[in-house]
Chain A
């Protein structure tokens, strides 16, 4: 591992008193930071960047940045959420001269990104997720995330129109708030079409477990589910398995239409290009980067896949109308009266939680109509 060797040598030289002059030369190495209107941006992915899923969505955003003047990109894939990611960040900063780093996976934040942020106070770090807290975390770090639950709501509307068995299914990784919001939104979208629809959820327990995802999809379809969506890192297996069994699919993270052109209805996709462009433009202009960034469909953080050939005209109309409503901003997917699937009231009559409501980021329930359990 040559880069790591070089870092440790450089660090050694820096810290040794005998080599003061050499140390200065070493510290001056990151040239990108010194020159104006030019920047190197680092991207770190937890999986392969062409996985038809989470990592591909980020990599598409990074690829867009390459088209901008004066911006160069360094990327590394398959970086585990361990001390490895610290080495990757260090090498991007020291060897490639990156001044802004996007560690895109959830587990990179604490302690890895925080440790690097303390070590390199002049470098900017922005993490995908919702973990940055004012006053608790350093100013050169931050987080960005999108309200993709709205996209799953729209998925649900199309699913509700398409399902004949009135049973739709969701293959989920882990019962964390973002996943639960997606499941609930998917069902509520379908119930906006027909209140009799139920959504069966299966948790696989991990973000990427190909065989278990295929088993879960098969189990859903065996129980009569005829529209499936998912929240796992790479929806490829779920999409291919479901389409192979003749069920329809709604996508997630990125556009999976090429995998099942006939059976793909629509999908909730990230639109990170917009977000990354905003950061980089601010960086090039010498402005401060925001620490806390959020947005949904209306802000261009999230987009929908083009509707597939199986989507009916009535479904298309309701989809378009709802999308137009959402684009106005302040749309509430979770609104009262609403109970969870244990019968407790989670939103009273007249109460509504727009996409920006902080309560949604702590969601710990599945709504009535979802068959499943969070533990």
Chain B
């Protein structure tokens, strides 16, 4: 292994590399949740779907030796969980937040149960694209070795941002999210739209899980998510339901998360617990700076149960 001494350059490089490596699950879960919440429903169960997706992807990739089949299988289970959530929430007087929490526990528990035999084996990883080929420095090459799913996530963010504004499907989604009555007056069935939006959101979240178990850190165990699915749901509010905002927020979280280890590696070792809290402090500050007691959150769908 060749090494080049990059000294303090390691910190910005690690933040860049960390933003790319760590952010992908956040991107997918938050984009999925953005679609669901834009339709006027909250699915807190995405953490459970993420964990179940991670398990499914790993198991299928291990059994079929194809990581892409694993991703597809994860998407299918995520969509199924999403449909389940959407179907239950269709009934009158059902609280989507409570169902979401139940689904979170159910998904994780089921994943732990079925995932038992897959903790030890090693499944094939998803491929990475070496975007750092132009550099002769191995650290730069490592940081810029970008997974296909990350690129897909970035493309999806732009596509969704455009689709929300410019397509018929995007308009339907927003109408249903802002006012069920208006949607019904237009001849739309809000329940069907929400059912589909929750299913798509679930499928996205499961892809985030597949990234965790099949690429980074690249193994299945029960602590793999450590709450990333929940954090991503919070990111959507932070990003004001804007897909591009979700992408930026995910990058910010990924990069800030890499700060702690990177600073320790260059010798800034005091107070690492504080550095580890950096993403959360950052979130708090931005939330405080952009909130106002006088109005509801800008961009919040009107039918969302947290804004009602």
Contact = CB atoms under 8 A, between A and B. Distances in A.
Which bracket fits the contact residues of A? 35 or more
B222 A47 contact: yes
Interface stretch (B3-11, B41-49, B82-90): B3-11
A264 to B, nearest CB: 13
Contacts of A375: 270-271
Contacts of A27: none
A218 B271 CA distance: 20
B3 A226 contact: yes
A201 B264 contact: yes
A244 B10 CA distance: 19
B265 A202 contact: yes
B265 A200 contact: yes
A129 B229 CA distance: 34
A222 B10 contact: yes
Contacts, number: 128
Interface stretch (B14-22, B94-102, B182-190): B14-22
B264 A210 contact: no
B132 interface: no
B267 interface: yes
Contact of A223 (B10, B21, B223): B10
Interface residues of B, number: 46
A233 to B, nearest CB: 8
A222 B272 contact: no
Given A210-B219, A222-B6, A246 B257 contact: no
Contacts of A215: 14, 18, 21-22, 257-258, 260-262
B222 A236 contact: no
A16 interface: no
Contacts of B18: 215
B270 A240 contact: no
Interface in B81-127: 112, 116, 119-120, 122
A210 B217 contact: yes
Given A48-B222, A211-B257, A219-B258, A165 B272 contact: no
B134 interface: no
Top 3 nearest A-B pairs by Cβ distance?
Answer: A373-B269, A214-B217, A219-B265
9 contacts: A47-B223, A205-B276, A210-B212, A210-B226, A214-B21, A214-B216, A219-B10, A222-B6, A240-B218
